Amino acid sequence: MSPAVRGNLEIHPTSAELTVAAAERFVAAADAAIAVTETFSVALSGGTTPQALFAALASAEYSSRVRWPSVHVFWGDERCVPPDDEASNYRMAREMLLDHVPVRAANVHRIRGEDDPEAAAERYERDLRTAFETPTGPPRRAPGLRFDLVLLGLGTNGHTASLFPHLQAVRERTRWAMAQNVEMLQMWRITLTPVILNQASEVLFVVSGREKAAILRRVLYGARETDDLPAQAIAPADGRLRWLVDAAAAAELPAH
Ligand code: 6PG
């Protein structure tokens, strides 16, 4: 069944159809980027929602449709835990996707969650600046010098990546990556900031489940309060912003 489309919002009837739509977008973004620069730089999201997408991309149906040796893998955020910790976004992506596709080890840009948080954030930013040939200053918008695709999820409190309400990273104006002590989770996290996220060629939010319905309505239709709702701070400067959601997550959206 085809999705209901409202501008940059696609509402898919089921989570399975949402996964297919997200996988198709991933393949299309990779094809488009590789056709221009021979590379595809993608920032993966963490948590539980992307697991179905990663499993789909690793499946026979999709894995052969991406030129994995040309893919550079980054993360939108990471928990400050070792890479084999069950909370690690890297571990989840490795188990669900990276171990099953021929991505080059040198092209997997892991955030070192096992290190001191501030040092890990600084090292990740250096890695990003090297990858995007931008040693200093703001991100550039040229192909190959920015993310081709950023995958993001939405937390029930309006956070995305590890941009949590009222924390400094939401308001950051120069750094690309920051360490954040997320007291509500009793956990340190490393997150990309809107500075680099909003220079991406495409940002894709993938939101699934009835528990996200209230926050999705607030983020998409409520007043703009980026400090309260950091997901609202994501607005690509000249890139595409798409919301792929399932009907359960869209349950509280106003009738079209
Ligand atoms: C993380 C994610 C985070 C996630 C949201 C939604 O590290 O947890 O980057 O931003 O996308 O918390 O998480 P779920 O998909 O598990 O609901």
Q: Hey, what are 234's tokens?
A: 């994501």
With left for phi above 0 and alpha for psi between -120 and 50, is residue 80 left, alpha or beta?
beta
Nearest atom, ligand 1, residue 89 CA: 7
User: How far is Cα 196 from Cα 177, in angstroms, rounded to an integer?
Assistant: 8
Q: Hey, what are 168's tokens?
A: 């400094």
pTM of the model as a whole: 0.98
Strands (E), 59-132: 71-75, 77-79
In SS3 terms, 54-75 reads as HHHHHCHHHHCCCCHHHEEEEE
Rounded to the nearest whole angstrom, what is the distance from the C-alpha of residue 36 to the centroid of ligand 1? Answer: 31
The enclosing domain of 172 has a CATH number of: 3.40.50.1360
Dump pLDDT digits (tens) for 36-48. 999 999 999 999 9
Look at residue 251 and tell me if it is in a domain.
Answer: no
Give the sign of the dihedral formed by CA 79, CA 85, CA 26, CA 142.
Answer: positive
Q: Regarding predicted confidence, which is higher, 71 or 6?
A: 71
Look at residue 27 and tell me if it is in a domain.
Answer: yes
DSSP SS3 for 4: strand
Look at residue 118 and tell me if it is in a domain.
Answer: yes
Q: Residues near ligand 1 with C-beta < 6 Å?
A: 45-49, 76-77, 89, 153-155, 159-162
Dump pLDDT digits (tens) for 123-175. 999 999 999 999 999 999 999 999 999 999 999 999 999 999 999 999 999 99
In whole numbers, what is the pLDDT of the chain averaged over residues? 97
Q: Which domain holds residue 213?
A: 8-246
Nearest atom, ligand 1, residue 76 CA: 9
**The total number of structural domains that make up the chain:** 1
Predicted confidence at residue 2, as pLDDT, reads: 84
